[in-house]
Amino acid sequence: MATVLALAALAGGVALVVVGAEVFAEHLEAASRRLGVSAFALALLLAGAEPEELATTVTASLRKAPAIAFGDVIGANVAMCLVALPVGALVAPLPFGRRVRWYALLALPLGVVAAVVVWNGHVGRLAGALLVTLYVAYVAAIWLREREPPALGEVAELTAVDADARPRSRRVGRELALVLAGVAALAIGSIVLVEAIRSISGVESTQTNLSLTLVGFATTLELVVLAWSSARRGVTEAVVAAVVGSFAYNATMSLGAAALVRPLSIADAHLLHGPAVIMLAALVAVIALAVPRRRLGRTGAVALLVAYPVFVAYVALR
């Protein structure tokens, strides 16, 4: 009975996280416009460009569940590369033009740094500060090159919707309240999600494996839907860049912020070694399949999708 309740809580936590992210993104542009600030700035101030991951890793850190934080960062990045992008490419070929290539090639060394940092199973506050600084440098490099804020995670939804289509008659209080409600739902959902994993098992190895697969996939659902819906609408390159750029966000900001809140440390560091290598290999595979032809087609998408259940089986059976 306890397991059933834990699974129900897990499903409820996932639902709150996904709904919170959607409400956050849906009303962010209108609130920022009425406040006279950029949507990108307001997103970073309130919940980050990838709020599901940030909320989950920080909550896991606060609740002394570092295995969940480690697993979610690595598992979500694997799911982004092997599920989110391929799902979009099955609907229509995804363009990998200059902007996307720039995001991906910058994200790869950040992923390498993250893998090196987590290799011994410990990320202290100094390492966390380094990761957050690297994220700031990543954003600055893209901003200087593109002359505009980068498209990352939920922020990219703003570029996929015509701002003129949004209602302009609402007051800033209502829009801002809805944005804050989305942030609150993210916070509550992430707490429920982390506590559900902890109640299912107090064993660190089990928490790590569940986070690498179940939690990582669940917190990536928003990007899976984003890639699919953008492909159906003809694909904006900004949205594709958002999925690739979110890899860098998780590897730096999500992990670094969690470590700043409370240093992360697990006893069985070897549980992270294979998945961390697979995380890097997944991004390399995306680059190798998409960059030469400047698009990710259906054949490459199928190959990536097939690799994801192999990853899940590896984590479950090792």
> What three-state secondary structure class fits 279?
helix
Dump pLDDT digits (tens) for 161-183. 444 444 444 555 677 777 777 76
Query: What band does 128 get if pLDDT is binned at 50, 70 and 90?
Result: very high
Between 86 and 98, where is the model more confident?
Answer: 86
Query: What band does 138 get if pLDDT is binned at 50, 70 and 90?
Result: confident
- Based on the number of CB atoms within 10 Å of its own CB, is 272 exposed (0-12), middle (13-18) or buried (19 or more)? buried
Sign, CA torsion 197/200/202/204: negative
Please give the span between the terminal C-alpha atoms of the chain, in angstroms, as a whole number.
28
Dump pLDDT digits (tens) for 189-219. 777 777 888 888 778 899 999 999 988 888 8
Which residues, listed in sequence order, are joined to residue 296 by a DSSP beta bridge?
94
CA distances from 154 to 44, 50, 164, 303 (A): 10, 6, 19, 26
pLDDT of residue 53: 79
Contact indicator for 131, 137 with CB cutoff of 8 Å: no
Dump pLDDT digits (tens) for 235-254. 566 567 777 878 888 999 99
Instruction: Give the pTM.
Output: 0.81
pLDDT of residue 136: 87
pLDDT of residue 21: 63
pLDDT of residue 168: 47
pLDDT of residue 5: 73
pLDDT of residue 46: 47
pLDDT of residue 303: 96
Statement: residue 269 has pLDDT above 50: yes
Which residues, listed in sequence order, are joined to residue 211 by a DSSP beta bridge?
none
The owner of tokens 């070929």 is 93
Q: How many residues does the structure list for the chain?
A: 318
Query: What tokens were used for 315?
Result: 């984590």
For the chain, list the domains and their CATH numbers: 2-317 (1.20.1420.30)
CA 20-127-273 angle, 5° bins = 80
pLDDT of residue 166: 47
Query: What band does 154 get if pLDDT is binned at 50, 70 and 90?
Result: low
Contact indicator for 195, 9 with CB cutoff of 8 Å: yes
pLDDT of residue 28: 62
Dump pLDDT digits (tens) for 7-56. 777 677 767 766 766 676 666 666 666 665 555 555 444 444 567 778 88
pLDDT of residue 208: 94
Percent of the chain predicted with pLDDT > 70: 74
When the pLDDT of each residue in the chain is averaged and rounded to a whole number, the result is 81
CA distances from 79 to 70, 82, 188, 248, 265 (A): 14, 5, 23, 14, 23
CA 278-68-112 angle, 5° bins = 35
Between 20 and 131, where is the model more confident?
Answer: 131
Query: What tokens were used for 151?
Result: 């498209």
What does the DSSP assignment read for 66-127?
HHHHHHHHHHHHHHIIIIIHHHHHHHSPEE--HHHHHHHHHHHHHHHHHHHHHTTSEE-HHH
